[in-house]
Amino acid sequence: MFLASIFAVALAALPSTLAQADYTAAHNVTPISGTWSSGSKKVVTGPGFANPANMTFNYPPVTGVSYAFTDDGWYEVARYRFNGNGSMPNCITGVLNWHHGHYSLNDNGSITLNPLSDGFQQVQDPCAAESNFIEQYNQTELYMGWQIFSDLNDGPKLHIFQADGTPVAPLFQVYSTANMLPTQLLRNISVTVTDKTLSKRNAGSRSWTPAGVTSLVSGVFAIALTSMFL
Ligand SMILES: *[C@@H]1O[C@H](CO)[C@@H](O)[C@H](O)[C@H]1NC(C)=O
Ligand SMILES: *[C@@H]1O[C@H](CO)[C@@H](O)[C@H](O)[C@H]1NC(C)=O
Ligand SMILES: *[C@@H]1O[C@H](CO)[C@@H](O)[C@H](O)[C@H]1NC(C)=O
Ligand SMILES: *[C@@H]1O[C@H](CO)[C@@H](O)[C@H](O)[C@H]1NC(C)=O
Ligand SMILES: *[C@@H]1O[C@H](CO)[C@@H](O)[C@H](O)[C@H]1NC(C)=O
C-alpha cells in the first residue's frame, strides 16, 4: 500500500516530466518489447482476438487493451472498450479495434504507431442509425510518453500516455516476447467496409441493451480503479 502511494505520486508527476526526458535512461527497467495487457489480461494481441482477413473479432469475456512490440520495430494493438456519453448515459458505444504496423520511440520520449492499411474496428452504438458496423482503421497514433515500473507482485508494468496526456490503463507484461499475427499485410483493402450481417451473427454472444452494458461498464471501472491502486 505504501509502495502503491509512491507509484501514484510518481505517476501524477509523469506527463509533464516525460516530454523532456531521454527515454533510454528513463525507461530501462525492461525493454518495451514483449506483450502487455491491462486489467484481467483477457485481451491479448495475436491469434485469438482478431481475424484481419475477414474482418471479424473473437469477443474477449471482458474489456481491456493489449500492446505488443518487437525489438525490430513492429507493434500490434488489440482493444475492446466502452465509451460512455455524459449527455446520453444510455448511449454507450462498444469498440473492438485491431491494428499493427511499425512503431518508433521518438527522441522526445513519445511513441508513434504507424499502422498498415489492414487495421479495422467494429463499432456498436445502440443509439446510432447504424448500430453496428465495421470499418478500416488506419490512424497514426501518438503517445506522449511511457514508463516501465517493476511491480512487486506483477513484475514489469507499462504505463503509456495518450497524446492529450490521458493514461492508458496500466499494462502488465504477459509475455516477454511479442505475441502477434504475422507482421505483413493481412488483407488487401481499398474501400471502407460495412458489414451489417454482423449484428445478426453476434446477436447470441453479446446483448447491447443499456442495462447489460451499464453493469459491464461498472465492472470495467472497478477493474480499472483496482489496477490503479495495486
Ligand atoms: C474468419 O476467419 C477466422 C480465422 O480464419 C475463422 O475462424 C472464422 O470462422 C471466419 N469467420 C467468418 C465469418 O468467415
Ligand atoms: C453523445 O451523444 C450525442 C448525441 O448522439 C453526440 O452528438 C455526441 O457526440 C456524443 N458524445 C460522445 C462523447 O460520444
Ligand atoms: C514528439 O515527437 C513526435 C515525433 O517526432 C512528434 O510527432 C510530436 O509532436 C513531438 N511532441 C512534442 C510535444 O514535441
Ligand atoms: C493509410 O494512411 C496512410 C497515411 O495517412 C496513407 O498514406 C494510406 O494511403 C492509407 N491507406 C489506406 C488503404 O487508406
Ligand atoms: C494482396 O494483393 C496482392 C496483389 O494482388 C497479392 O499478391 C497479395 O497476396 C494480397 N495479400 C493478401 C493478404 O490478400
- The arithmetic mean of pLDDT across residues 173-183, rounded, is 97
Tell me: the pLDDT tens digits for 2-34? 444 434 434 444 444 343 344 455 565 678 999
Residue 28: predicted pLDDT? 59
Tell me: the pLDDT tens digits for 32-48? 999 999 999 999 999 99
Residue to mutate (ligand 1; options 51, 198, 205; most atoms within 8 A of CB): 51
- The arithmetic mean of pLDDT across residues 174-195, rounded, is 83
- For ligand 5, the distance from its centroid to the CA atom of residue 196, given in whole angstroms, is 25
Residue 150: predicted pLDDT? 86
Kindly state the cell numbers that stand for 47. Answer: 491469434
CA max distance for the chain = 53
Domain locations along the chain = 1-30, 31-228
- For ligand 1, the distance from its centroid to the CA atom of residue 54, given in whole angstroms, is 6
* 100: number of Cβ within 10 Å: 27
- The arithmetic mean of pLDDT across residues 135-160, rounded, is 92
C-beta of 12 in contact with ligand 2 (< 6 A): no
Amino acid at 35: T
Percentage of the residues of the chain whose pLDDT score is greater than 90: 57
- For ligand 2, the distance from its centroid to the CA atom of residue 89, given in whole angstroms, is 10
Percentage of the residues of the chain whose pLDDT score is greater than 70: 70
**Predicted confidence band at 212 (pLDDT cuts at 50, 70, 90)?**
very low
Q: Is the pLDDT of residue 167 over 80?
A: yes
**Predicted confidence band at 133 (pLDDT cuts at 50, 70, 90)?**
very high
**Predicted confidence band at 152 (pLDDT cuts at 50, 70, 90)?**
confident
Pocket of ligand 3 (CB under 6 A): 19, 106, 108, 110, 112, 142
- The arithmetic mean of pLDDT across residues 81-87, rounded, is 88
C-beta of 54 in contact with ligand 1 (< 6 A): yes
Q: Is the pLDDT of residue 128 over 70?
A: yes
**Predicted confidence band at 85 (pLDDT cuts at 50, 70, 90)?**
confident
Q: Tell the residue nearest (CA) to atom 7 of ligand 1.
A: 51
Residue 224: predicted pLDDT? 32
Q: What is the dihedral of CA 38, 42, 45, 50, to 10 degrees?
A: -130
Residue 194: predicted pLDDT? 52
- The arithmetic mean of pLDDT across residues 74-96, rounded, is 92
Q: DSSP letter at 181?
A: S
Half-sphere exposure of residue 143: CA atoms within 13 angstroms, side-chain side: 19
CA distance 16 to 64: 26
Residue 217: predicted pLDDT? 35
Instruction: Determine the atom of ligand 3 nearest the C-alpha atom of 142.
Output: 7
Q: Is the pLDDT of residue 114 over 60?
A: yes
Residue 26: predicted pLDDT? 55
